[in-house]
Structure 1
Amino acid sequence: MELLDSISWVAVAFHTLAAVAVISALLVVFVRNIVHAVLWLAVFFISLAGVFLTLNAEFIAAIQVIVYAGAICIMVVFGIMLIRRWNMGETNLFNSQTVAAAGVVALVTMLSAFLSFKSGVVEPAGDVPVNQVESIATALLTKYVIPFEVAALLLLVALVGAIFLAKEVKADDADSHS
């Protein structure tokens, strides 16, 4: 009974959700069917939201579920549907760069493990502020205003590029049908 009293169930949930996140992220990369990869991506985003919940960051967890697990996964599914490939099982095949990518991943993993073991156990920084939304807004609009604006500009450029590409594809389709 002493063992059960010493276990922090929040720590158990944190480590379980972190393991689910790592496994589902690996499955996103290694599964051959792209539709299944999107489903594993949704599992990854939801487990990451659970990690945020164990860290008392409820607002970040809610945004994670709404924006990433909801909107991003749906957008990827629409992208898959617009590709119009008949055999979706062959869309995510390994190529000649797989060995190089595996080597880079192994190197980064070993470096991360080495640095983690060298730094030792890190104590929690403290309690999360009660006004999470206000703290995030203040940080984004004061200390991190330049990266925030750059990210907004990057999203705007991506949106304009997507519209341009979509119009170009429609023009090509209209030319081929006439």
Structure 2
Amino acid sequence: MTSLDIAFTAVGAVTIAAGLLAVTTRHLVHAALWLVLALGGLAGCYLVLGAELVALVQILVYVGAVVVLVIFALMLTRAPIGPSPDHATSMLHRVLAAVIAGGVTALLLAVLVPLAGDDAVERTPVDTAAISGQLFATWVWPFEALSLLLLVALIAAFAVAAVGRRARR
């Protein structure tokens, strides 16, 4: 086991823990902050794998834009900071969700672990120019669609906040 394998495992464990905390916490703002850590950890995984450009795009697009937009929308719409009884679920739903998540995890492990085998994965150098060419030539329209979606979400957050203010008056 190399130092890169250890670093990938450590960063991956932090990412998994942050992802689990993001979906299990009852505080909306805490969930958004755990999501920042999970997406940042994913960028760290990309860095360990040698995909610097993908890690940078991960941080810029997801951490720098999407999560900031989510936090901004939470603050703008005055979402409840603490636990919300309106969003609570029963114990049966939680147990059912845990069973389904365990089944999906077992299925993924059953399929992916035999693919890895006993041999270490050989790392090949990545050509950043080729990746950036694909990303900003072939996939430029999905990025533009994402920016348009973020703009629509921001306008919708303003509209929801304005309606809430008018209703209180």
Q: TM-score, normalised by structure 1?
A: 0.72
Name the larger-Rg structure: 1
The match for 1:138 is 133
What stretches of structure 2 of length at least 5 have no aligned partner? none
Deviation at 1:61, TM superposition (A): 1.6
* 1:89 matches 2:82: yes
Distance 1:88 1:151 in 2: 31
Match of 2:126 among 114, 118, 129: 129
The match for 2:100 is 104
* 1:54 matches 2:54: no
The match for 1:18 is 12
Distance 2:64 2:146 in 1: 21
- Check whether the contact 1:57–1:128 (CA below 8 A) recurs between aligned residues: no
| Aligned residue runs from structure 1 range 29-40, under 5 A | 29-40=23-34
| Aligned residue runs from structure 1 range 109-120, under 5 A | 109-120=105-116
User: Secondary structure, in 3 states, of the residue corresponding to 2:82?
Assistant: helix
Change (3 A) 1:151 1:108: farther
Distance 2:88 2:168 in 1: 33
Distance 1:52 1:98 in 2: 32
Give the structure, 1 or 2, with the largest relative contact order (CA under 8 Å, sep 6 or more): 2
Distance 1:52 1:163 in 2: 32
| Aligned residue runs from structure 1 range 147-162, under 5 A | 149=141, 152-153=144-145, 156=148, 159-160=151-152
Q: Percent of pairs identical after alignment?
A: 28
Deviation at 1:123, TM superposition (A): 5.1
- Check whether the contact 1:25–1:40 (CA below 8 A) recurs between aligned residues: yes
Deviation at 1:74, TM superposition (A): 1.6
Aligned residues: 165
What stretches of structure 1 of length at least 5 have no aligned partner? 1-6
